């Protein structure tokens, strides 16, 4: 180590001379100072007598330098004479060091003279290691002589505070992690750190925005350098790669090769420890059939019951009657409840071998082999999802909820009912050959009129300026003035019906044979009869046009003359159809358009009276139509049938029912719409009147809302007859019903 130390010393002195520094020497670290002292002591002991003076001078110069530095640290202000003395001492030090270096150079040549690695101020020789390894020791590393570098003394927080207050360079003092010494940064170092923190170029002299030199042209060449067409093999897939991939796919399918996820799962299972299996796992899980698509597992055999026990309870053993039944079904064994006769044994060892075991196992194998099994998609739909979500009936009020009045006075079945347009009176027709006029508010019978035959239909004229009731009784259609209400309207009606208009047109013989207009005699005229229209068959129904001038009568037995339209002002009748298809049950005028609805047993035909043509035919999908009613807007029709159904037709949508409602348990005989409220009602032979909400929207894209609201059951059943007819009050949400119990009931 001697030559290395002397070489380092000479190199240090040469640097001092070359730079021409005349200022005082920098403070040396402790380890270099120790090395220097040891070097001088060796040189003093080894040098000859002639050189002792120079060595002592050199040593003194270093000591003086150290003393000078200590004196500088003690005093903050230095005087000018001291500065001159320091410079003289430095000059002496330089001369002495040069003499020493010349003598050492004459003795031996330094092989590291041109080496620049020693220029770095590496005082700690531990290398690039984590410095926290020395946290528990008093030293921080080792110097060139393998001596410990003692950690500098650490001050407490009070010392740091005093340095922060007194030392002006405290803000730019950093700690060297290699030596633990405090290093004061220069202005150049601080400027460099600031530029790096601001993400600038560290070199301040570097120009970021120097002019760009366009080394290459910016013009795109039209012709490429190489215009060789692509080879055919670049378009064709590689056969060797295809074989490799197919091998990998086959290995993955067969389980020979596994993906990373599968390998990770296996490793996780191994780490988790042993796996426990259920003893009867095949009973609860599907069989693992590899490479069989849509495998259907075999059906399980039923578990044995008490009868199959070797020691069954006594009630499971056959008695004489059951044994006779067993023997009787010998030729039809599939009808037997059990395929064996239960037997009782005291112990299990007494049970003999089952003789049919082999045969039954063979049949079981045949079942599994020959029985075709297929997947059937089963929809798991909860019952509550099948029922549409309907609004609450409380939100759809008002509607009738209870019975208010009972109109009693007829002595037989009340078949038909009609309400005055103003809503003050109602008229009913019965099998006791009479019609009665009632006051609605008091349920008082005002007038009773005998008609000599069963009354099957009554209809009050919808024109509020006339007081006329059309009554279908037997083969006669009677126009009666009830003489109730406003006397001026009653007198005006009599004047209108008294004068028969003169007509030059002659009725054809076919019409004369079917219909004759006549005036009643004296007694009937006093009763209220004004016009009698005689038909050739029994009249079942009569209905008015909305304006009150036309009315239609239906004779189901009249064949092609079963429908006749009468005009009151001209006292003329006409056949609208030359032929009718089917047995006509009822007819209905459209409330707005010139259309006529004709219901036969199974269908409804819609005719245009102006163009005299068939518009559409509605299919009811039922066996027998009983009644029908049209919505006041004319776009929806509701039909009742004798096979317990209500059919809602949307005339703009389809010729098939929009909705079929099965609300009643027996035949539905009557149905009616309310003029103002979105309500309709139906009456049935199950003595119930069902009130429903039927809202029709102006928006054609929105379907009608149909909600059953209330079931009213107050009628009594007589001879299997319940409710015959229902009708609404013209202005109030009240419904009237007639029944086989000879009463009329009002629900409000």
Say which residues have a Cβ less than 8 Å from residue 574's Cβ, sequence separation at least 6.
511, 564, 565, 567
**pLDDT tops 70 at residue 55:** no
How many angstroms separate the Cα of 705 from the Cα of each of 509, 649, 692? 50, 13, 10
Report the pLDDT value the prediction gives residue 286, as an integer from 0 to 100: 56
pLDDT value at 536 more than 50? yes
Q: pTM of this prediction?
A: 0.52
| Residue 381, pLDDT score | 82
* CB-based burial label for 172 (10 Å; 0-12, 13-18, 19+): middle
313 Cβ contact partners less than 8 Å away, ≥ 6 residues apart: 306
Q: Residue 321 — pLDDT band, cuts 50, 70, 90?
A: very high
Kindly state the percentage of the chain with pLDDT values over 90: 18
pLDDT(67) > 80: no
Distance in angstroms (rounded) separating the CA atoms of residues 69 and 89: 12
- Give DSSP secondary structure letters for 443-512: TEEEEEEE-SS-EEEEEE-S-TT---EEEEETTEEEEE----S-HHHHHHHHHHHHSPPP--PPPPHHHH
Residue 372 pLDDT grade (very low, low, confident, very high; cuts 50, 70, 90): low
Q: How confident is the model over 277-302, as a mean pLDDT?
A: 63
- Which pLDDT score is estimated for 314? 92
User: What is the structure's pLDDT at 639?
Assistant: 92
With beta carbons less than 8 A apart as the criterion, state whether 449 and 434 touch. yes
Domains of the chain: 134-198 (no CATH), 306-367 (no CATH), 400-499+508-747 (2.130.10.10)
Question: Nearest to residue 342, comparing CAs of 320, 311, 301?
Answer: 311
Label residue 230 exposed, middle or buried (CB < 10 Å: 0-12, 13-18, 19+): exposed
Six token digits for residue 205: 């002299």
The radius of gyration of the chain's CA atoms, rounded to the nearest angstrom, is: 61
Beta strand spans in 11-102 (E): none
> pLDDT (tens digit, 9 = 90+) per residue, 373-397?
666 777 778 887 777 777 888 888 8
Q: What is the mean pLDDT of residues 141-164?
A: 87
- Average pLDDT, rounded, for the chain: 79
Q: Are 520 and 532 in contact (CB under 8 A)?
A: yes
Tokens of 391: 């609004």
19 pLDDT higher than 70: no
Average pLDDT of 141-155?
A: 86
pLDDT computed for residue 349 by the predictor: 93
- In whole angstroms, give the CA distance from residue 409 to residue 741: 11
Average pLDDT over residues 189-218: 88
Q: Dihedrals φ, ψ of 475, to 5°?
A: -100, 10
DSSP code at position 721? B
pLDDT tier for residue 113 given thresholds of 50, 70 and 90 = low
- Confidence band (pLDDT; 50, 70, 90) for 69? very low
Which of 111-115, 368-372, 478-482, 700-704: highest mean pLDDT? 478-482
In angstroms, rounded to a whole number, what is the distance separating the alpha carbons of residues 686 and 713? Answer: 8
- Helix, strand, or coil here: 728? strand
- Split at pLDDT 50, 70, 90, the class of 21 is very low
pLDDT in tens, 583-629: 888 899 999 888 899 998 888 989 888 888 888 888 888 888 999 99
What are the pLDDT digits (tens) for 236-257?
888 899 999 999 999 999 989 9
Q: What is the C-alpha to C-alpha distance for residues 661 and 706, in angstroms, rounded to an integer?
A: 10
Integer Cα distance of 66 and 59 in angstroms: 11
612 CB-contact burial (10 Å; exposed 0-12 / middle 13-18 / buried 19+): exposed
Query: Does 319 have pLDDT greater than 50?
Result: yes
Looking at residue 15, its pLDDT comes to 43
Cβ atoms within 10 Å of 275's Cβ, excluding its own? 7
Average pLDDT over residues 23-28: 40
In DSSP terms, which residues pair with 149 in a beta bridge? 141
Which candidate, 594, 599, 531, 530, places its Cα nearest to that of 563? 599
Rounded average pLDDT over 75-89: 41
pLDDT of residue 293: 61
Instruction: Write down the pLDDT at residue 503.
Output: 65
């Amino acid at each position: 180590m001697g030559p290395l130390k002397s070489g380092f010393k000479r190199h240090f002195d040469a640097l001092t001379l070359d730079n021409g520094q005349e200022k005082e020497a920098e403070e040396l670290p402790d380890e270099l100072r120790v090395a220097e002292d040891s070097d001088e002591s060796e040189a003093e002991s080894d040098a000859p007598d002639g050189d002792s003076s120079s060595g002592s001078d050199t040593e003194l110069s270093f000591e003086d330098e150290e003393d000078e530095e200590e004196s500088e640290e003690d005093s903050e202000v230095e005087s000018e004479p001291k500065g001159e003395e320091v410079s003289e001492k430095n000059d002496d030090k330089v001369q002495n060091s040069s003499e020493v270096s010349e003598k050492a150079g004459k003795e031996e040549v330094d092989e590291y003279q041109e080496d620049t690695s020693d220029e770095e101020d590496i005082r700690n020789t531990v290398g690039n290691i984590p410095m926290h390894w020395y946290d528990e020791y008093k030293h921080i590393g080792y110097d060139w002589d393998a001596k410990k570098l003692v950690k500098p003394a650490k001050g407490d927080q009070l010392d740091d505070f005093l340095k922060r207050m007194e030392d002006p360079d405290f803000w730019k003092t950093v700690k060297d992690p290699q030596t633990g010494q405090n290093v004061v940064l220069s202005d150049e170092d601080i400027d460099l750190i600031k530029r790096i923190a601001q993400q600038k170029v560290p070199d301040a002299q570097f120009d970021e925005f120097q002019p760009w030199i366009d080394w290459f042209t910016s013009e795109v060449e039209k012709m490429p350098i190489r215009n060789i067409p692509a080879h055919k093999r670049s378009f064709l897939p590689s056969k060797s790669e295809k074989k490799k991939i197919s091998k990998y796919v086959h290995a993955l399918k067969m389980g020979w090769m596994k993906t990373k996820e599968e390998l990770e799962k296996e490793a996780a299972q191994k780490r988790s420890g042993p796996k426990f299996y259920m003893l009867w796992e095949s009973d609860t899980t599907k069989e693992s059939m590899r490479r069989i698509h849509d495998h259907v597992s075999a059906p399980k055999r039923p578990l044995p019951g008490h009868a199959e026990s070797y020691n069954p309870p006594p009630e499971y053993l056959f008695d004489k009657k059951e044994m006779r039944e067993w023997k009787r079904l010998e030729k039809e064994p599939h009808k037997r409840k059990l395929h064996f006769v239960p037997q009782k044994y005291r112990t299990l060892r007494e049970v003999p071998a089952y003789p049919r075991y082999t045969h039954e196992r063979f049949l079981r194998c045949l079942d599994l082999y020959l029985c075709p099994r297929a997947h059937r998609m089963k929809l798991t739909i909860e019952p509550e999802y099948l029922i549409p979500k309907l609004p609450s009936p409380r939100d759809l009020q008002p509607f009738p909820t209870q019975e208010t009045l009972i109109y009693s006075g007829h002595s037989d079945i009340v078949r038909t009912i009609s309400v005055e347009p103003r809503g003050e009176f109602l008229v009913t027709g019965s099998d006791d050959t009479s019609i009665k006029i009632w006051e609605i508010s008091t349920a008082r019978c005002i007038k009773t009129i005998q008609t000599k035959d069963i009354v099957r239909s009554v209809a009050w004229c919808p024109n509020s300026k006339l007081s006329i009731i059309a009554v279908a009784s037997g083969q006669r259609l009677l126009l009666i003035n009830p003489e109730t209400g406003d006397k001026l309207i009653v007198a005006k009606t009599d004047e209108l019906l008294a004068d028969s208009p003169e007509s030059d047109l002659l009725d054809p013989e076919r019409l004369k044979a079917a219909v004759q207009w006549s005036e009643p005699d004296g007694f009937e005229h006093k009763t209220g009869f004004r016009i009698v229209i005689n038909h050739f068959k029994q009249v079942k129904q009569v209905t008015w046009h909305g304006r009150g001038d036309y009315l239609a009568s239906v004779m189901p037995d009249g064949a092609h003359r079963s429908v006749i339209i009468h005009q009151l002002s001209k006292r003329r009748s006409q056949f609208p159809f030359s032929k009718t298809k089917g047995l006509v049950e009822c007819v209905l005028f459209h409330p707005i358009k010139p259309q006529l609805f004709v219901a036969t047993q199974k269908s409804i035909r819609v005719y245009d009276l102006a163009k005299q043509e068939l518009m559409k035919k509605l299919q009811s999908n039922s066996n027998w139509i009983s009644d029908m009613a049209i919505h006041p807007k004319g776009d929806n029709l509701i039909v009742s049938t004798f096979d317990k159904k209500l059919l809602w037709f949307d005339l703009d949508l389809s010729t098939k029912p929009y909705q079929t409602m099965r609300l009643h348990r027996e035949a539905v005989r009557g149905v009616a719409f309310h003029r103002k409220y979105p309500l309709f009602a139906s009456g049935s032979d199950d003595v119930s009147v069902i009130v429903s909400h039927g809202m029709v929207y102006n928006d054609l894209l929105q379907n009608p809302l149909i909600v059953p609201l209330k079931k009213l059951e107050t009628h009594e059943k007589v001879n299997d007859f319940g409710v015959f007819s229902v009708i609404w009050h013209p202005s109030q949400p009240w419904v009237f019903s007639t029944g086989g119990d000879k009463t009329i009931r009002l629900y409000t």
